[in-house]
Chains A and B, each alone.
Chain A
């Protein structure tokens, strides 16, 4: 199957990556090659095989419910792109200016 530039643009949009037209074109053909090469997994994987999501057989690893100190707020915020009042300052997230 062949991925179109529009398919890749949709996927890039879902992944929140803005691609240039050049990037779109080369990405579509490269993804096709990769998908061709990996497609055989669906032939090997028979219906009666159980899927494995993880190599270790672990479920619900809990720790004691004890309060521990968090990372120092100033050190965490020191590396933020923008800060205001001990919080991360982010661009607008609503459709209209507030």
Chain B
């Protein structure tokens, strides 16, 4: 039989539904693949093999008993280690949560389980989702399957690499400033940040609550839409959840029709700092969309250049507040509790021992931005810039249906290159941050390999709040056109190299 790890999730779902293959076979194939390649890639922090096979067995039994199941029942999925899942360690790739088992499931995880999906394990990430390379994991970096000396993006590098490495057909990520989209771009995969409030944050361990958004990661556009549909929708457990029916992303992903759509190129997201290879592939993708009947115009978002600065004040401010919960009192690591040290001393010692350099940097930066005397100049100004970014989007979306830009200014950089240069690392999120500040939806789709270094390039599509279907209309059209020119999906080229 053809290797089951090479099928799309949609194909696996069809084969499972027709009982041509069992979930146990599909699950075992992926667990075997993980055992084969994950020593090199390190996409997973924890592989839940026994429970995955047990779930698969139950699904197979229910299906053969004639029960009507969710179309994705029995399809495996990997979950970023920032989501609570009972029975698995949930660490956020931090020593402060090493060995912690959550007492409840995140809503996103519960929806995967309710659909009968098989959770393979927990994927690696930058500690508490802070980073753009997965090098800030306390448990070692993930490597990019396209080139093991390069970063897989971050913070969700584990989820993206598990897809590119054919270890999982689907994965879940979370996106605060680009943590789903930037890893998707540099691994040649698809990643969507849904509309803020469109997918529940309940059980997603918070980094910056006004920005964090769970979303789907996949190898193709339809698979991403199928997973998007499973995890999105109103959740009363999340007070910022939008109580309205989500857009029909699956129908949009099947349409691949952009005739008559107006597409705006964001003028401010190009030029200096963008590699030639990225710009070449981006321009080619936009031309293809125009040839398929979309109307392409240039749009100005004059305040976008200030977005990075606003983000690196708002996000750390929220981080400094959210991460105060790691106080060594109720869960996680406790250091220095010798019956003499006070609670405050134990807190200080624990947080120094348990948190990594980037996490400390952001907590202290946020503490500074919120401190009296600096609040107006920093946090207050950043909040005003946020208003201006939202106004830029509103103005742009009054002219066009979607906006496009490169997802990230460069292709995957070598491991270690930006570790000691925080600002260089932060630049990787230049194009993705505006949509987090404004709360609109955005996705990254493969645009091909950069001609200069042969590494994947992503194109970002941004759409208005609750118009997530537009992302998939554009993505599916682009995928159809590009795959016709490549002769195969992009990842098939990586697969050929690996064999």
Residues of A near any B CB (own CB < 8 A): 3, 8, 11-20, 23, 27, 30-31, 33-35, 37-42, 44-46, 49-56, 58, 61, 63, 71-72, 75-76, 78-82, 88, 90-93, 95
Whether A44 lies near B381 (C-beta < 8 A) is yes
The 10 closest A-B pairs by CB, nearest first: A55-B439, A51-B383, A45-B384, A81-B334, A38-B309, A18-B348, A45-B381, A49-B384, A18-B352, A61-B239
Whether B437 lies near A41 (C-beta < 8 A) is no
Counting CB contacts under 8 A, is B197 at the interface? yes
Whether B330 lies near A88 (C-beta < 8 A) is yes
Counting CB contacts under 8 A, is B266 at the interface? no
Q: Tell me which residues from 338 to 377 in chain B have a Cβ below 8 Å from any Cβ of chain A.
A: 339, 341-349, 351-352, 355, 357, 360-361, 363-365, 367-368, 371, 377
Specify which chain B residues have a CB less than 8 angstroms from the CB of A38 in the assembled complex: 308-310, 312-313, 378, 382
Whether B310 lies near A41 (C-beta < 8 A) is yes
Specify which chain A residues have a CB less than 8 angstroms from the CB of B397 in the assembled complex: none
Chain A-chain B contacts (Cβ-Cβ < 8 Å), number: 179
Interface residues on chain B, size class: 35 or more
Q: Which of B99-107, B114-122, B184-192 contacts A (4 or more CB under 8 A)?
A: B99-107
Whether A75 lies near B103 (C-beta < 8 A) is yes
Specify which chain B residues have a CB less than 8 angstroms from the CB of A33 in the assembled complex: 422-423
From A75, which residue of chain B is reached at the shortest CB distance? B103
Whether B439 lies near A76 (C-beta < 8 A) is no
Whether A91 lies near B342 (C-beta < 8 A) is yes
Distance A17 CA – B101 CA, assembled complex (angstroms)? 24
> Interface majority SS on A: helix, strand, loop or mixed?
loop
Specify which chain B residues have a CB less than 8 angstroms from the CB of A44 in the assembled complex: 303, 306, 381, 384-385, 388
Contact with A along B24-55 (1 / 0, CB 8 A): 00000000000000000000000000000000
Distance A37 CA – B320 CA, assembled complex (angstroms)? 20
Distance A4 CA – B344 CA, assembled complex (angstroms)? 24
B355, B364, B377, B437: residue with the most chain A Cβ atoms closer than 10 Å: B364
User: Assuming the A-B contacts A18-B348, A53-B210, are A91 and B341 also in contact, with contact meaning beta carbons closer than 8 angstroms in the complex?
Assistant: yes
Our pick among B313, B342, B384, B390 for the contact of A46 (Cβ within 8 Å) is: B384
Counting CB contacts under 8 A, is B328 at the interface? yes
Our pick among B306, B342, B361 for the contact of A31 (Cβ within 8 Å) is: B361
Counting CB contacts under 8 A, is B337 at the interface? yes
Whether A54 lies near B355 (C-beta < 8 A) is no
From B424, which residue of chain A is reached at the shortest CB distance? A33
Our pick among A19, A30, A45, A46 for the contact of B422 (Cβ within 8 Å) is: A30
Q: Tell me which residues from 132 to 185 in chain B have a Cβ below 8 Å from any Cβ of chain A.
A: none
Q: How far is the CB of A24 from chain B (nearest CB, A)?
A: 10
Specify which chain B residues have a CB less than 8 angstroms from the CB of A71 in the assembled complex: 103-104
Whether B363 lies near A15 (C-beta < 8 A) is yes
